[in-house]
Structure 1
Amino acid sequence: MRDSSGDVLAAALQYPEQGMSQRPLVVLIHGLTGCQDSLYMLRSASVFLAAGYPVLRLSLRGAGPSRPLCRFQYHAGRSADLGDALLELPPELAVNGLLLVGYSLGGNMLLKFLAEQGRDFPVLAAGSVSAPIELAVSSRRFLDRRNWLYHRWLLARMKEETLAGPPDALSTAEWQAVQSVATVLEFDDRHVAPRNGFAGAADYYAKCSALHFLPAIEVPTLLIHAEDDPWIPALSYRKAMQAGNDRLTCLLAPSGGHVGFHDASPVAWHDRCLLQFFEESLSG
């Protein structure tokens, strides 16, 4: 999928064993430092495929297989990329409608997209899993002592992903800024924000946090989150429940961590919830 800047977004399309069905296309959108081949994407795809849905696993701009093909990268608010990717779909793929799922950062992007452009596409229902709907709050939570090890790992992955693009993608100043930052907050403030036209991290977070967009969503949407998510406070989802939008359903589980929700079942709880929500939405 090529956009006007020349960047190419990669994707993997899968059909159920019985071939193309009359069911809607499920589009899966990964989270930060993920891609179409992330384990949670593969597991969710297998669940929907087994239920007879065709599945598109999308790699966002500059993620995974698309990294060498993109000068720019995705961020939490780059919802226009999702719209552009859906416009590039062959008509026969969207003829039965779309079901959209976003994980973590991809969930924030998806919710923003639904508010801005959802009505312009045949979206029948959507769902987010562990989305950081208040970006500033989540960015600060990374700095907690208990999150030190994950924060260090995540920042290293973010730097590696950013520096793996085409040789001319970053200026010398940008390259040096990426290498020198010590926190995710600094990364967003010194790299993501200026590269994408924001005044700084605070401006980026304020303009892109999905919480502010929830009242404008017009399609049935399921928000799944866990009380014990170490990086995204549950308080954000209690605020979401007060959005006053009857198209939203919020499931706030007592446990599950971040995009976790594993139990004795071979199918993750969040995948079971998404499948049931979509089936019920389609049946009216």
Structure 2
Amino acid sequence: MKLPRGEDFRPPWPLTSGHLQTMLSSSGVRRRLLPRAARQVQQDAVPVTVDGGEGVRLTGAFTAQQIQASPRGLAVLFHGWEGSIDSTYVLQTGSRLLRDGWDVFRLNFRDHGDSHGLNEALFHSCRLDEVVHALADIARRWPTRPLALAGFSLGGNFALRAALAAPAAGVPLAYALAVCPIIDPAEGLFALERQAPWFYHAYFMRKWRQSLRAKQALFPGHTYFELAELKQDLRGLTAALVRRHTDFASLEAYLEGYSVAGARLRALSIPATILTARDDPIIPVADFERLELPPQVELDIARYGGHCGFIRGRDMTSFTDDYIAARFNAIAACDWPGGRRAT
């Protein structure tokens, strides 16, 4: 079975610009131009609260496929930082999988979407245990197999770490796919602050500050930040919240806590794919080139695509929809060709 590869994505000008791809990926313009089919996963979706363990509750939405007599499998989707289950890329991918006969579960991380009021403690990127526990709850409540996972950006990082932890946690995960995942958070943080154009930093900081203010309003008796901390840049605010809300001794230790750089993925035992773009202005491509991966993990570095963009043309649909669906379908058909490096 021939699967699509990153080299197959050849967008027309001006979509050959990584910056344009990145800016369009989460833009309101793209959401307005998307065809109705890209929102299909929202129809008949059932809002769900899942168990994150130790009293933690996470929200999500389950949509059952209506194409086949029985589903191909259960697809779980993770959004990126300050995204949600209703982010454009999540809706597109979920809708594409639904049309291929997959049941789809979209999971919100803590304090994402409209879930700020569910848990008093603040979200941070090292809260992997609750995500793996939620995956186990999802797998128990919806036992359709195979169970396949896809994540974007920070969600891609979570997907890879969840795939590492799944066997020991008893989660029957068959496959994981990460689109433009954060690899080395320390390098990514530096690149976003110092190398990427200023508007990326401004965009993420605006969304993050809005999220923190929403959290504070819901728990007025808890001090999540000081106003002076909220005015700091990405590195400064992250360091302040690490000191205030985690057990990590330093910002560096916290960033190391969710890194998948170097040889950290060597122990990954299930099939997986990492798709990124050489022109991604957020995550340095060198982080991917330094990865040490086992044979069943496919690394695919496309020339174009930006950060979680891969937009094909005026209809604003993404190459990643077909890319993910093809690999999920191969897993369901027991036709996975094994890992390979496509650079």
- TM-score between both structures, scaled by the size of structure 2: 0.76
Q: Does 1:238 align with 2:283?
A: no
Q: Provide the residue aligned with 1:115 in structure 2.
A: 164
Unaligned regions of 5+ residues in structure 2, if any?
A: 1-49, 336-343
1:268 corresponds in structure 2 to 318
**Could you tell me which amino acid in structure 2 is paired with residue 281 of structure 1?**
I
Sort the Cα spacing of 1:40 and 1:169 in 2 relative to 1 into closer, same or farther, 3 A: farther
Alpha carbons 1:71, 1:169 under 8 Å: kept:
no
Indicate the residue corresponding to 1:63 in structure 2: 112
Change (3 A) 1:128 1:273: same
Matched, 1:48 2:97: yes
Instruction: Give the C-alpha shift of residue 99 in structure 1.
Output: 0.4
**2:275 is aligned with 1:224:** yes
Aligned residues with identical type, % of pairs = 25
Deviation at 1:19, TM superposition (A): 6.9
Question: How far apart are the structure 2 equivalents of 1:213 and 1:180?
Answer: 34
* Structure with greater Cα Rg: 2
Q: TM-score, normalised by structure 1?
A: 0.90
Q: RMSD of the TM alignment (CA)?
A: 2.2
Q: Give 2:286's aligned amino acid.
A: L
Relative to total residues, which structure has the larger helix share, 1 or 2?
A: 1
Q: Is the 8 A contact 1:138 1:232 kept in 2?
A: yes
Q: Which moved more, 1:57-66 or 1:207-216?
A: 207-216
1:187-240 Cα offsets, whole Å, 9 max, x none, are 221104541211222111112102253111111101010111111010011112
Asked if residue 167 in structure 1 is aligned to residue 219 in structure 2, the reply is: yes
- Which among 127, 131, 134 is matched to residue 82 of structure 1? 131
User: Letter of the aligned partner of 2:125 in structure 1?
Assistant: A
Structure 1 residue aligned with 2:74: 25
CA deviations on 1:53-82 (whole Å, 9 max, x unpaired) are 000010111111211222234333322122
Which deviates the most, 190-199 or 41-50? 190-199
Give the match for residue 189 of structure 1.
239
Aligned to 1:102: 151
Relative to 1, partners in 2 of residues 1:192 and 1:34: Cα closer, same or farther, differing over 3 Å?
farther
Alpha-carbon distance change, 186 to 118 in structure 1, aligned in 2, over 3 angstroms: farther
- The gaps in structure 1 that reach 5 residues or longer are none
Count of aligned pairs: 280
Partners of 2:93 and 2:320 within 8 A in 1: no
**Residue in structure 2 matched with residue 179 of structure 1 by the alignment:** 230
Q: Is the 8 A contact 2:279 2:303 kept in 1?
A: yes
- Partner Cα distance (2:268, 2:295) in 1: 10
Deviation by residue 1:150-190 (Cα, 9 ceiling, x = unmatched)? 20121121111122122247426x34364232x21112211
163 and 268 in structure 1: CA distance in 2 versus 1, 3 angstrom threshold: same
2:190 aligned with 1:140: yes
Aligned: 1:72 with 2:121: yes
1:14 aligns with 2:63: yes
Q: Is the 8 A contact 1:104 1:128 kept in 2?
A: yes
2:201 is aligned, of 139, 147, 151, to 151
